[in-house]
Amino acid sequence: MKISQEYLLDLLITKVIPHALTIILILIGVAAAFKFIRMVGEKIIHYTEDDDRLSVSEREKRAQTLVNIISHTSQIIVIVIAVLMICREFGVNVTPLLTGAGIIGVAVGFGAQSLIKDVLTGFFILMENQYRVGDVVKIAGLAGLVEKINLRTTVLRDLQGVVHVIPNGNISTVSNMTFTWSRCVLDIGVAYKEDLDHVTRILESEGEKMMNEPEWRKFIMEKPTVLGVEEFAESQITLRVLIKTVPLKQWDVARNFRGRVKKAFDREDIEIPFPQRTIWTGKEQS
């Protein structure tokens, strides 16, 4: 059977071109929707930003987390709608597809209880603001920086750079180490012969000096506190110091404060003890 050029031209004009134009318009609409979603997300994040560019506030963390979740969900919905519209253009009846999807969804739901548990747990994590992107947390026995939160999983990166993907359904307890504020807990050991009042004054002085320096003032929220003697150890007396900091800065503050204490103790000739043992061989002296 020979197909005439007139038939092909008529088919192209009446069938192919209209459908092609409609599909192109649908794809343009998808791209426009994606751009709009991204623009709204950027506006929300920009609205929550403050003037401090060196640290991320709690409001900024929460906004970033929610924007990521809403953006991904919205993009998936847009893609599903676009696919259904394109199917209709090819003459596919989408009503049975939707009905079948509902029936399949019910059937799959019985065998996907863990997935449903992950999604529900992720939803409550977001609504209750348990942790945000940028927090340092310990969950499911793993500690690290929260890089991403989805409705199904939470992504952590630990100090070694290893990425851990944790299903939200496995999260029963959350330890958030950077929620609103953080704290350095420093145990400083000195020899038993040292004057504790003198040591305490040195620790308080170094804490005040550090807090008054512009470089550290913005990270330390309260005057460092020397609680006093924490423990009588085997070869030292341990004093405990607390420093309240902005989130994520407790480790930097602690490292710097330890260095200051070491230099101050060296200047004041205060002994930082190390374990020593006396070995008795059992031989009698002649």
Which band of pLDDT confidence, cut at 50, 70 and 90, is reported for residue 59? Answer: low
Supply the mean pLDDT for the chain: 81
Residue 75 to residues 18, 27, 122, 132, Cα–Cα distance (Å): 26, 13, 18, 21
CATH class of residue range 182-267: alpha beta
The pLDDT, as a whole number, for residue 241 is: 96
Dihedral Cα 114, 116, 117, 123, nearest 10 deg: 150
Work out the percent of the chain whose per-residue pLDDT is above 90: 36
The CATH topology of domain 5-111 is Helix Hairpins (1.10.287)
End-to-end CA distance of the chain: 124
pLDDT surpassing 80 at residue 176: yes
The pLDDT, as a whole number, for residue 262 is: 95
Number of neighbours of residue 245 by Cβ within 10 angstroms: 23
pLDDT, one tens digit per residue, over 69-113 is 778 778 888 888 888 887 777 666 766 666 655 555 554 555 556
Smallest CA-to-CA distance from 119 within 70, 168, 190 is with: 168
Query: Could you state, in order of their start, the residue ranges of all structural domains in the chain?
Result: 5-111, 130-176, 182-267
pLDDT, one tens digit per residue, over 263-275 is 999 999 999 987 7
Which range has the worst mean pLDDT, 48-57, 135-144, 211-220? 48-57
Enumerate the H helices of the chain as residue ranges.
Answer: 5-11, 17-48, 58-89, 94-111, 113-127, 196-212, 214-217, 250-267
Instruction: Put residue 180 in one of left, alpha, beta given phi > 0 → left and psi -120 to 50 → alpha.
Output: left
pLDDT surpassing 50 at residue 1: no
CA atoms within 13 A of residue 274's CA, in its CB half-sphere = 0
Which band of pLDDT confidence, cut at 50, 70 and 90, is reported for residue 127? Answer: confident
Q: In this predicted model, which residue has the larger pLDDT, 166 or 50?
A: 166
pLDDT surpassing 90 at residue 216: yes
- Phi, psi dihedral angles at 167 (to 5 degrees): -60, 135
Q: Report helix, strand or coil for 76.
A: helix
Work out the percent of the chain whose per-residue pLDDT is above 70: 76
How far apart CA 78 and CA 57 sit, in angstroms, is: 31
Q: In this predicted model, which residue has the larger pLDDT, 52 or 238?
A: 238
CATH class of residue range 130-176: mainly beta
From the number of C-beta atoms within 10 Å of its C-beta (0-12, 13-18, 19+), residue 211 rates as: middle
